[in-house]
Chain A
Amino acid sequence: MDYMKFFSKKGDVRIHFNIYDIILNFLILSIATFSSVKIIVWSFFEANWSVVSKNLALFTFGSYPYHDRWRPSIWIIYLLILCFFTIFNKETKKKRRPLVFAWGLFVPTGLFLVCGGLGKYPIPISYLGGLSLTIMLTSCSLLFSFPFGIFLALCRQSELFLVRNISKLYIDFMRSFPLITVLFFGQLLIPLFLPNGVEVNRVARAVFAFTIFLSAYIAEDFRCGLQSIPVSQIEAGKVLGFNDFQITSLIVLPQAFTIALPALTNQVIGLFQNTSLMSILGLAELLGISRSLLANPEFIGSYLEVYIWLGLIYWLFCTIIAMLGRYFEYQLDYDGNNR
């Protein structure tokens, strides 16, 4: 087989079969057919999906108060609409402004709604569970770790010895821990450091732990972007009279962001999946809620159904994140590499 032609985008596809190819194709096809028939038969006739269908609300909201479930519902619908409009938006720069604004309001709106805004009583955020908690953990951690990561990356490039090395030390230190230990630190050790009477809820502590961990990685992704900006760009900025802050914010960072974008998308997907680690530490996010469901005698033994369902949800959201990343790559593609 002429692999180069087979894989090239525009070259004409010419496949010459020989006997080995035929055997290989037959093998692959039969395995694929066999397993898909198996899966279809299992999922339609053998599987007991009641564990999923009876608990859809639980998967989405966790133990959030019944009468207030419209709050996270609105928030999740808001997110899905935003994603839809962003991914399928073909507008020019100016018309994109409302979209950017809507994204900026996403986390504040969520916190306001979920914590009982517009209602009579505040609702503790720790009531949140399932998908809405997963989204809350992901979005809040991102909101904090992006600015902090960029700040770290800039400090790491600093000419000041102390600033540069403290940031270097922090990044290397954070990267040398497994995420789970940082999360443990957030859940178990932070309360010890706080003065008596001050209590920070578990969700905020988790967000804190994710933020300090993730920002080290985001800083390194940004460093890669920063280092690939040629000195001549900075010189051009100097010559036009920009000060250091303007050069960084108007010239260097936008270009660095474009270069770091594929790696950053990776981090976001990773974060979304890593929130499932919180189930070990007692938060009832998607995986946590599933584990508690499986412990319920009514649904005992439905492992496969629950985990396949879980896999589908994670797959759906990670695909959305990947599509968003690709959309931004396309929008920011000023060199025409992806067109």
Chain B
Amino acid sequence: MTFMKNIINVVNLSKSYSAGIKALDDISLDVGKGEVLVVMGPSGSGKSTLIRTFNGLESFDTGYLEILGIRLDPNGDEKNIREIRKRVGMVFQQFNLFPHLSILENITLAPIKVQKRQKIEAQEHALSLLSNMGILSHANKYPSQLSGGEQQRVAIARSLALKPDLLLFDEPTSALDPERVNEVLDAMRDLAKKGMAMVVVTHEVGFAKEVADRVLFMDAGRVIEISKPNIFFQNAKEERSRRFLNQIIK
């Protein structure tokens, strides 16, 4: 039972759209406890689709998943998906904060309503998360009053408030000003150091080199290679990976 050690097992996962285009093509991989997996690949390669299947935002046709020991089959039942979502956080490209709630309310809403935690305890937790993210002073502002980088850090704090065992990041820095990218990446580095398991879809080569335990390279819905970052960035095994890297590193 090697499965028990892994928090993600993906076995022969496939998904195709009605036009016969394969979004995911027979993908198998695993992520261990405390591991940071960076997913790279050209746009349309199925990176986002892949990590969105991990918490049931995206369905799939064949194969199965095991997230934190909870099995998810095609047409997976709602109960398992809810169970997974309670333990897996996700950060989106566009932050997706709730614009009608203050920063503090954004973070405490789910702990209070989903986990039924005490309001005061949830607020204290939220404030400590905000101070870790360096945005404590914004607690009572509204999302529209914050910069993109600050909003994304709130989004990270919001998913951490549920004390997840795994965090999924879907291009967390792609919608940010170049100047604001590092503040978000720093927050993610901190998380990695604390041993949080993360799956990160990103184009940030520096971040991948420094933080990733392994890099997954995808193209056209297929896994091209999974390598340690030092191997992947210096001497990728596959020709397709090298071509991609030549394009993005100049």
Contacts and interface: CB of A to CB of B under 8 A. Distances in A.
B89 A336 contact: no
Given A235-B92, A240-B85, A334-B144, A250 B99 contact: no
A229 to B, nearest CB: 10
Given A238-B57, A239-B55, A334 B142 contact: yes
Name the residue in B57, B89, B113 with the highest tally of chain A Cβ atoms < 10 Å from its Cβ: B113
A300 to B, nearest CB: 57
B242 interface: no
A263 to B, nearest CB: 18
Contacts of A243: 82
Interface in A307-339: 332, 334-336
Interface in A233-269: 233, 235-236, 238-243, 246, 250-251, 254-255, 258
B92 A232 contact: yes
Interface range, B side: 20 to 34
Contact of A246 (B86, B97, B113): B113
Interface of A, helix, strand, loop or mixed by DSSP: helix
Contacts of B98: 233, 236, 251, 255
Nearest to A242: B114
B39 interface: no
A241 B142 contact: no
B113 A250 contact: yes
A254 B105 CA distance: 14
A236 B92 contact: yes
Nearest to B89: A239
Given A240-B158, A250-B113, A332 B85 contact: no
A242 B100 contact: no
Contact of A336 (B88, B94, B144): B144
A135 to B, nearest CB: 31
Given A238-B57, A243-B82, A336-B145, A233 B96 contact: yes
16 contacts: A232-B94, A232-B96, A233-B96, A235-B96, A236-B97, A236-B98, A238-B56, A240-B114, A240-B158, A241-B114, A242-B113, A258-B100, A334-B100, A334-B143, A334-B144, A336-B144
Which 5 interchain pairs have the tightest Cβ spacing?
A: A236-B96, A240-B110, A241-B114, A239-B90, A241-B86
